[in-house]
Amino acid sequence: MATPLVVSELAKSFTMHLRDGVRLPVVEQVSFSLKAGECAVLGGPSGAGKSSILKMLYGNYAVDTGQVIVEHHGRLVDMATASPRDVLAIRRDTIGYVSQFLRVVPRVSALDIVAEPLLARGRGRDEAMRRSRDLLGRLNLPAKLWDLPPATFSGGEQQRVNIARGFITSHPILLLDEPTASLDAKNREVVMAMIAEKKQAGVALLGIFHDQDVREAVADRVIDVTDFAPARTAA
């Protein structure tokens, strides 16, 4: 699909229950769409709401109002109101997400964590493990770590496992929340090349990158989140 994601008039506020229910509006009137084969970047200062937008698109945060329309197996689904079952199916097949931090599962090896999304999509174990090894090797994770659970890995090692897990599938939409934040220059280059390959393959990417070099290298356009600041849209 040429436009696999269309976001319309999303709004998000948080209610602080420990502070007498004070309502903290974060973003309003968030509207944009993503085209296949482009990488758009969410820009704006710390606290502007970039991560909150990604989390709404992935169904991690409930939205107050608005729509997140995704084409999922030929049908248009609104992530904002989708059933839990649809959200899980969309995450399995349509929207991938590389979070800032790896969720470590006790006793599960790095290789298995990376292979899991392919196995969930019904691919064979041999193929999934081969691709897992290829990606971990490409991301320069030492082979001696592959069979270990990543709980004791360094921040950058864990992040590379997380990136490999997010990139192993071919989801048509890929959300990236600071995937390069704790990587060294060599591995940042690898991730930039992997993003370029996803674009080439027609994936629509939306990311947050604090590193300006990375942003300039991967971004086809910047979506300025300050345009969605509540005071601004209320004016």
Residues in contact with ligand ATP by CB under 6 A are: 14, 24, 26, 44, 46-52
Nearer to ligand ATP, 100 or 140 (CB): 100
Nearest-angstrom CA–CA distance, 181 and 179: 6
Q: Between 77 and 208, whose beta carbon lies closer to ligand ATP?
A: 208
The CA–CA distances, whole Å, from 206 to 58, 90, 118, 179 equal: 11, 16, 21, 11
Q: What angle do CA 195, 117, 72 make, to 5 degrees?
A: 75
Report the distance separating Cα 223 and Cα 132, nearest Å.
32
Q: How far is the CB of 209 from ligand ATP (least distance, A)?
A: 10
205 vs 39, 156, 194, CA distance in Å? 4, 22, 12
26 or 191, CB closer to ligand ATP?
Answer: 26
| Residue 103 Cβ vs ligand ATP, minimum distance, rounded to whole Å | 16
Residue from 197, 189, 131 nearest 165 by CA:
131
**In terms of CB distance, is 52 or 187 closer to ligand ATP?**
52
Whose Cβ is closer to ligand ATP: residue 44's or residue 166's?
A: 44
Provide the CB-side half-sphere exposure for 221 (13 A, CA): 10
Name the minimum Å distance from CB 95 to ligand ATP.
Answer: 18
Q: Which is nearer to ligand ATP, 51 or 169 (CB)?
A: 51
Q: Which is nearer to ligand ATP, 9 or 93 (CB)?
A: 9
Q: Residue written as tokens 């390069």?
A: 180
Rounded to the nearest whole angstrom, what is the least distance from the CB of residue 80 to ligand ATP in the complex? 17
The first and second tokens of residue 27, run together, are 């973003």
**Cβ atoms of residues 113 and 161 within 8 Å:** yes
Smallest separation, CB 233 to ligand ATP (Å): 15
Least distance from C-beta 217 to ligand ATP, angstroms? 19
In whole angstroms, the minimum distance from the beta carbon of 12 to ligand ATP comes to 8
Rounded to an integer, what distance in angstroms lies between the CA atom of residue 208 and that of residue 127? 31
Cα 136 to Cα 141: distance, rounded to the nearest angstrom: 5
